[in-house]
Amino acid sequence: MRKITYGEGIREALREKMLENKNVVLLGEDVGPYGGTFGVTKGLWEQFGEERVRDTPISEGVIVGASVGAAATGLKPVAELMFIDFLTFGMDGLVNQAAKMRYMFGGKISVPLVLRLPAGGGISAGAQHSGSLEAWVTHVPGLKVVYPSNAQDAWGLMLTAIDDDNPVVYIESKVLYSQKSEVPDKVDPIPFGSARIAREGADVSIITYGKQVHDALKAAAALAKDGIEAEVIDLRSLYPLDKATIFGSVAKTHRALVVTEEVKRGGYGGELSALISEQCFDELDAPVVRIGALDTPVPYSQVLESLVLPSAEDIVKGVKEMF
């Protein structure tokens, strides 16, 4: 075992697949000599050259569009947008082209595209650089969506994403890039649709992903002092979704709390809550509780940002309301 950062986990997966398959290429703004906005691609331009690690113009529409075309004609592009907020400029290529091409051509074409999207707040980047927009992409048939919470999962999910013949939206938590965690000497691909039980418990199920896994574990430790044992489920894969693990946990604990960093209104957390309420109604001893960001753009001020985004304290409060 060794310790590496979340960002290094992504980089090592990219390196592994680029060594394995010459058709894997990287593109995006400053992914080349600069090493990416958050340093994730550092050193890959030097190792693989500018033909396979390509800086692009400042145009998200071009980045996504070029990646769709490259994927449809035999390459395996891994594209990076600087922030998930800028996906607005690339939505047509992703939603109307990448997500639908295989269906519209009767399965005769593949679009093995990975779109990397740094997301979330916590770094005082302001309203236009702090979005959590996973609900947009999980809503679209034809897209797979993953969101790792640690270095090993970041590595393993990227290996699977690059091997997949379908477009994969790979969301990354900006605040986790420098966080270290243990990884084995050999990291295996992680199948999509397989959640991880990050902490076992018998009293309440906390369902989450990304940075909120760490908030949930902190909350669980605090709840344990009050005699409430929380089970924390790290989804890892938002679509396909591991329903069996969620339902099995709720059947054991009979209470469920869903926490996401996105604004609660219209969020992916609402889909999870509805699914649990519909499928596990007879198992629930209390209504499903949702925790999310307040209904406002993310402020630049650190003080206000911490108020708007969900916290471990919010999770503790939400759990205690069920008892």
- Element of type H or E holding 319: helix 312-320
Q: Which of 8, 29, 80, 129 is catalytic?
A: 129
Q: Which of 8, 12, 29, 60 is catalytic?
A: 60
Average pLDDT over residues 117-126: 96
Q: What is the domain range of residue 67?
A: 2-183
Look at residue 104 and tell me if it is in a domain: yes
Whether 140 and 279 map to the same domain: the answer is no
Q: Cβ(147)–Cβ(238) under 8 Å?
A: yes
Calculate Rg over the CA atoms of the chain: 19
What CATH code is carried by the domain that includes residue 261?
3.40.50.920
Q: Which of 139, 162, 183 is the last residue of a domain?
A: 183
Q: Is 60 annotated as catalytic? A: yes
pLDDT tens digits along 259-295? 999 999 999 999 999 999 999 999 999 999 999 999 9
The verdict on residue 294 lying in a domain is yes
| Reduced 3-state DSSP string for 94-124 | HHHHHCCHHHHCCCCCCCCCEEEEEECCCCC
Same-domain pairing of 228 and 299: yes
pLDDT confidence band for 104 (50 / 70 / 90): very high
Model confidence over 130-146: pLDDT tens digits? 999 999 999 999 999 99
Structure confidence at residue 201 (pLDDT): 98
Which structure tokens are listed for 168? 């994969």
Per-residue pLDDT at 105: 95
Total tally of structural domains belonging to the chain: 2
Banded model confidence at residue 318, pLDDT cuts 50, 70, 90: very high
Same domain membership, residue 299 and residue 218: yes
Determine if the pTM surpasses 0.85.
Answer: yes
Is 190 inside a domain boundary? no
SS (H, E, C) 60-94: HHHHHHHHHHHHHCCCEEEEECCCHHHHHHHHHHH
Query: Measuring CA to CA, how many Å separate 269 from each of 187, 235, 263?
Result: 30, 12, 9
Computed over every residue of the chain, the mean pLDDT equals 97
Residue 29 pLDDT class (50, 70, 90 cuts): very high
Whether residue 167 is found in the same domain as residue 275:
no
In a domain, 188, yes or no: no
Q: Which amino acid is at 314?
A: D
